[in-house]
Structure 1
């Protein structure tokens, strides 16, 4: 089994509200179709220009305050349902049975970290030949009332449970650089090297931590999977090559 993360900067232009790169997502789905159903997948996608601007506008990360925050909580969730519906339709066009599972319905957070999760539906979907499709979403939070559960946090929780062969992050850059922008692409790094990397996030709004969060997650993921890949999801065949194990990108090893 492999876990694939389609970053928000891949499926949308994060500087343009409600922008969706349908052709990119269809191509990603086509690449997965080369390996499915022999290979099992769980797919998680980010909020892109659907979730992040609304979460910022309504201050979801500030917690439950008044009617405005409740209103924003619902509106942000509805935007993510719209986005995941579009992703699922692109997968169906490539004969992939991607089944959307609402992250806010199965995870409870504490300050944005998952503390309770019910993965029975995910497990059943896999066993019955579906591709579970989860997404960064709003969450009910035991400390703040409401919060955001990021796609990266979801991936970490899934990896702990399912111990995938590899986790592949699709980004809008070629991988992890020693310095960004203007640095060298790091093709293979060990978890111990992550502490000294100087990075900055990609363009657009990201309320869930950007590339720094991904590196923190990669460090933890290395305890539950053999390889964590970071590749450019905007370039044809990079995903396929990462699945095979020979991609231009960055692989993080334990």
Structure 2
């Protein structure tokens, strides 16, 4: 089984407001349609989530959500569902059976970390020959009231809970670079200081958080620049792409 997260910055203009990159979505779903077998997909919220979360002031941990906060949270959830619908529709147009699974409906967090997440529907979808498509979202939080759940955290959680996982990948809009601006082939602990904490509108931690989530999995994984055609297909074919995150290679 393969796990692939598509960054929201690839399929939207992340610095815009609800601006899909339909050309990128079509290209990416086209590559996926060539290798759709045994695949779980997660996509980021991009400009359908990050600007709204920041604008509503929901990007910082806060206890005791007010009615206004919950209304704002639901607006974010509705917005991200629209992006998910665009992505799913693009897959279906190419004859790929795909199924939306919205984390806001079933995931419970505590202090921003997943506390409860029933993944049996995800696994059953794969067994049925359907691609489950999840996404970055906002969910109920037992401590804060509500919290942002990134696609990176979703990938990490599913990978740790499924023994069947063979390949794990995060497709981003840029490679992982060292201090000299060169791509890092195999990530080592010494490279962590080169990573950015967050991008301009990213409310989920940027590249540093992506790497940390993959390191937590304790399984080999890849982060790669998917703005160039063919990279996603190469990953799904079993090829080496981008930067390998392998806890066994220190």
- Calculate the TM-score normalised by the size of structure 2: 0.91
Query: Does 2:206 match 1:213?
Result: no
Contact kept, 8 Å, 1:97 with 1:130, in 2: the verdict is yes
Q: 2:42 aligns with which of 41, 44, 52?
A: 44
Contact kept, 8 Å, 1:3 with 1:42, in 2: the verdict is yes
SS of residue paired to 1:188: coil
Q: What's the offset of the Cα at 1:206? A: 0.7
Q: 2:53 is matched with which residue?
A: 55
TM-superposition CA deviations, 1:169-224 (whole Å, max 9, x none): 11111x21113xx511111224x4454x3122675411111111101112112x2x
Query: Does 2:242 match 1:242?
Result: no
Write out aligned runs for 1:15-54 (5 A): 15-37=15-37, 40-54=38-52
State how far apart, in whole Å, the 1-side matches of 2:245 and 2:13 are. Answer: 26
SS of residue paired to 2:139: strand
SS of residue paired to 2:25: helix
Superposed CA RMSD: 1.7
Contact kept, 8 Å, 1:14 with 1:203, in 2: the verdict is no
Q: 1:231 is matched with which residue?
A: 224
Q: What's the offset of the Cα at 1:67? A: 2.4
State how far apart, in whole Å, the 2-side matches of 1:138 and 1:8 are. Answer: 15
Q: 1:80 is matched with which residue?
A: 80
State how far apart, in whole Å, the 1-side matches of 2:215 and 2:71 are. Answer: 36
SS of residue paired to 2:15: coil
State how far apart, in whole Å, the 1-side matches of 2:235 and 2:127 are. Answer: 24
Q: What's the offset of the Cα at 1:252? A: 1.4
Contact kept, 8 Å, 2:61 with 2:111, in 1: the verdict is no
Q: Which runs of 5+ in 2 are unaligned?
A: none
Q: 1:121 is matched with which residue?
A: 121
Q: What's the offset of the Cα at 1:69? A: 0.5
Aligned length: 244
State how far apart, in whole Å, the 2-side matches of 1:189 and 1:147 are. Answer: 29
Q: What's the offset of the Cα at 1:248? A: 4.6
Q: What's the offset of the Cα at 1:245? A: 3.9
Query: Does 2:188 match 1:187?
Result: no
State how far apart, in whole Å, the 2-side matches of 1:69 and 1:99 are. Answer: 29
State how far apart, in whole Å, the 1-side matches of 2:240 and 2:161 are. Answer: 26
Contact kept, 8 Å, 1:108 with 1:117, in 2: the verdict is yes
